[in-house]
Amino acid sequence: MGRPLTERVADAAAPAVLALTGDLERPARLTVPDLLAWPQHRVRVSFECATSGVQHHRFEGPLLHDVLCAAGPQFDPGRRKDRLRFLIAVTGADGHHALLSWAEIDPDFGRAPVLLAAGIDDTALDGSGPQLVLPQDRCGARYVSGVNAIRVDGRYGPWT
């Protein structure tokens, strides 16, 4: 409604863009094809949805950790404790939202092999945007699809 049909058709055809923002040296705007620049990982997952039961998918894409490190998170990489106050806020185009801690995906801490998938079941996600993949999750709720914003936030604590 409102805008001419030609504009809305152009929007639908435009590639999805993911904004990386927050406490980063190099904030970035990435398309799904941009995600192919990092080493690609493949994973087969099963997760349970509260409403539609068990789902099986194959995903392909870079590690979330690799993509975020390239954006230069503003902690001292040599001081492990400095990373513990960082959060990662992941938002889908529909407003679905999930928080991870930096330590959850850090190879020195939780080592969760979380992907920012560029493809699902041999289909590129160029139009809809990447999907967060947490192979260790039993439930599907954090598999945020159509990710259009990731904010890295290091302002948490200490509260005095």
Ligand X SMILES: Nc1nc2c(c(=O)[nH]1)N[C@H]1C(S)=C(S)[C@@H](COP(=O)(O)O)O[C@H]1N2
Interaction site with Mo ion (CB under 5 A): 49-50, 140
Query: Cβ(120)–Cβ(57) under 8 Å?
Result: yes
Give the range of 21-29, 49-57, 60-68, 101-109 binding ligand X by CB under 6 A. Answer: 49-57
Q: Specify burial of residue 118 (Cβ count, 10 A radius: 0-12, 13-18, 19+).
A: buried
Query: Cβ(113)–Cβ(63) under 8 Å?
Result: yes
Which residue sits closest to Mo ion, CB atoms considered?
A: 49
Give the range of 18-26, 58-66, 74-82, 143-151 binding ligand X by CB under 6 A. Answer: 143-151
Does position 117 bind ligand X by CB under 6 A?
A: no
SS3 content of the chain, % helix, strand, coil (to 5): 20, 40, 45
Among 14, 29, 69, 94, binds ligand X (CB under 6 A): 94
Among 26, 52, 108, 122, binds ligand X (CB under 6 A): 52
Q: Residue 9's binding partner, choosing from Mo ion, ligand X, none, with beta-carbon cut-off 5 to 8 A by kind?
A: none
* C-alpha span between 146 and 23 (Å, rounded): 22
**Burial 68-90, CB ≥16 within 10 A → b, else e:** bebbbbebeeeeeeebbbbbbeb
Closest by Cα among 48, 30, 56, 2 to 130: 30
Q: Residue 1's binding partner, choosing from ligand X, Mo ion, none, with beta-carbon cut-off 5 to 8 A by kind?
A: none
What is the nearest approach in angstroms of ligand X to the Cβ of residue 65? Answer: 20
What is the nearest approach in angstroms of Mo ion to the Cβ of residue 49? Answer: 3
Does position 92 bind ligand X by CB under 6 A?
A: yes
Binding site for ligand X (CB under 6 A): 49, 52, 55, 92, 94, 96, 140-141, 143-146
